[in-house]
Structure 1
Amino acid sequence: MPPFTQSSRGLGYADASSEVSTTTIFGRVMFLVGVAIGFLALGTVIGKDLSQGTALLCSFGGLGMLLVASFGGERFRVGTFAIGWLYALALLIGLGLGPAIAYFTANQPAVLTQAAGGTALTVVGMGALGFTLSKDLARWMRPLSILVLIAVGVSIVMLVVGAGGSPILSLVIYAVSALLILVNFNYLRKRASENDVVWLATGIFVSIVNIFLSLLNLFSSR
């Protein structure tokens, strides 16, 4: 089963899922995304004084949890456990990013603001486009999801070790993540059921992190 690409039909969900409106599903997905971002932010505050080695371990731990969520089956896609798993991996990724975010806060606060603003604009724009498009883009979910999984690892490692990375690589990561946002919102409008809420929220959250880190690298290298 590809990462973030297939709904899971669990006991007690199948009958209810068909009765839930797109608006309700959208609200639930974005609520989970918002809370996950809150855990990410909390992690950056708690982890601001971590050593580089510890931060890397946290980042790899979060990435490992993301891989488990992608390939671990229904338990990691539907229900309370899956939601808790999303929040835990968001917290771990935040802990890993803590020292880097603390550095930018102290030395380049404008870059943080620009990256956050650019991320918000990208998500709103691509999300709106995904909702508007009449064409079903579900077939693009699998290849883009795999690329984003790779990209999130590259982005986190580059930022934590202070490598910066190639602006071209950052642009590629940004573009792929933005496209996945578009596809996720398109899927949400056309196909999503109640059982898709958690994995859609996870995919959108990961894309947001990638977009933010890519813009952070691009703006800081100017």
Structure 2
Amino acid sequence: MSIEPAVPNPPTGGVRAQEESTRTAPLLFGQTMSFVAGTAVLFTVGAYAGRGLNGVAGIVAFVGAFIALIAMNATSTRSRNGTIALLGAVGLLLGLALAPTLAYYASVNPDAVWHAGGATALFIAGFGAYGYATSRDLAPLARVSSWALLALLVFGIVIIFVNLPGADVLFSVIGLAIFAVYTAWDFQRLRRSSDVDSAPLLAASIFLDILNVFTFFLSLFTGGRD
């Protein structure tokens, strides 16, 4: 997954805007991370419930999650509760979509799953802290990363049909580099935003960062791309 839900732009200038951002920052951070945690719980529930699903059911669940993400952008300015409900649906559906893959690796190489989880926690904590603390505007890097992600997706399609030595490792390493930028940028948006209602969309972005980073690490620790 690499969708970045639209989030209202943070305040760009003025003492009042900066004071508003400072006042709401702790509340927004707390709400956003609570939503991330709740989405992760629902993802876990979906991954457990769907461990016996077949590939077709996983694809259907993935498409459903994609639709829910798009719907979040549409409902964000109309219904906060509706957006939160859709965020929960995203977590649950993505859990169902990835359940067969996670169940497989948990049965044949459980250490890789634990290692990927630990590496993901350190990765998100490190780059998230940097993005939250830095005064450098990361938006230009995020725009470059969007093009890099598109190129990576094309590369991923190519290596399905062309056997290139080391391509799987290269794919994952580049993916981690791209999502290092996305993670830092999303946490910078979290710090700069003064709109508490943006918490569900920010949570969706951060959760997708976490999920993508986890899958890239899992690919590295298992020796091949999922």
TM-score by length of 1: 0.79
Q: Distance in 1 between matches of 2:175 and 2:69?
A: 17
For the 8 Å contact 1:141–1:183, the answer to whether it is kept is yes
Other-structure match for 1:62: 65
Equivalent residue for 1:80?
A: 81
Equivalent in the alignment of 2:102: 101
Q: Percent identity?
A: 26
Deviation per residue, 1:86-123 (Å, 9 max, x gap): 11011001001111111111110000000000100001
Shift of 1:79: 0.8
Q: Paired residue for 2:33?
A: 30
Distance 1:67 1:46, change over 3 A: same
- 1:209 — aligned with what? 211
Whole-angstrom distance in 2 between the partners of 1:30 and 1:46: 24
TM-score, normalized by length of structure 2?
A: 0.78
Are positions 1:118 and 2:119 aligned together? yes
Residue 6 (structure 1) shift: 3.2
Deviating beyond 4 angstroms after TM superposition, the runs of 4 or more aligned structure 1 residues are 139-152
- Whole-angstrom CA distance in 2 between matches of 1:109 and 1:74: 38
Q: Over aligned residues, Cα RMSD in angstroms?
A: 3.0
**1:195 and 1:150, CA in 2 relative to 1: closer, same or farther beyond 3 A?**
farther
CA contact (8 A) 2:55 2:100 kept: yes
- Cα distance change, pair 199–148 in 1 and its aligned pair in 2 (3 A): farther
CA deviation vs aligned residue, 1:117-160 (integer Å, no higher than 9, x gap): 010000100111112211232444555468669989x99xxxxx
Separation (CA, whole Å) in 2 of partners of 1:151 and 1:67: 22
SS at match of 2:137: coil
5+ residue gaps, structure 1, are 9-17, 156-164
Deviations 1:142-188 (A, max 9, x none): 55468669989x99xxxxxxxxx722122222221221110111122
User: How far is the alpha carbon of 1:221 from its aligned partner?
Assistant: 0.6
Q: Deviations over 1:183-207 (max 9, x none)?
A: 1111221234212211111100001
Measure, in 1, the Cα distance between the counterparts of 2:97 and 2:151: 17
Q: Distance in 2 between matches of 1:215 and 1:7?
A: 31
Alignment partner, residue 49 of structure 1: 52
Determine if contact 1:136/1:190 at 8 Å carries over to the other structure: no
